């Protein structure tokens, strides 16, 4: 069985280094371009982008401007709405 949970204790470098996301992708047997990262911090968005992942910012568009898309919260977001927003970008 492979380890699927990866957090700051599982890596030697913290965000904005993409190590945590890259290790998680590797553990799942996926490529970064096959994964969507949801992040609420500037460092997390930078890590996702630098690692080659698609980044979705959760919060303020002004603060998370480097995310590919930004949603204010998960409230009132369903899979269909999110899929539509992803396909526009």
Model pLDDT, residue 7: 80
pLDDT digits (tens, 9 = 90+) for 14-25: 899 999 999 999
Q: Does domain 11-88 have CATH number 3.40.50.1000?
A: yes
CA distance linking residue 41 with residue 84, whole number of Å:
23
pTM: 0.87
Q: How far is CA 27 from CA 4, 22, 65, 76, 86, in A?
A: 6, 9, 29, 31, 25
> Where does the pLDDT of residue 1 fall: very low under 50, low under 70, confident under 90, or very high at 90 and above?
very low
Element (H, E) at 10: none
pLDDT digits (tens, 9 = 90+) for 13-71: 989 999 999 999 999 999 999 999 999 999 999 999 999 999 999 999 999 999 999 99
């Amino acid at each position: 069985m492979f380890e699927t949970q990866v957090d700051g204790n599982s890596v030697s470098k913290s965000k904005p280094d993409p190590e945590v996301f890259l290790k998680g992708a590797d553990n799942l047997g996926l490529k970064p371009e096959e994964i969507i990262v949801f992040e609420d911090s500037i460092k997390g968005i930078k890590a996702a982008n630098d690692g080659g992942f698609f980044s979705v910012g959760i919060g303020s568009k002004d603060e998370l401007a480097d995310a590919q898309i930004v949603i204010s919260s998960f409230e009132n977001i369903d899979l269909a709405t999110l899929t539509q927003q992803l396909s526009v970008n």
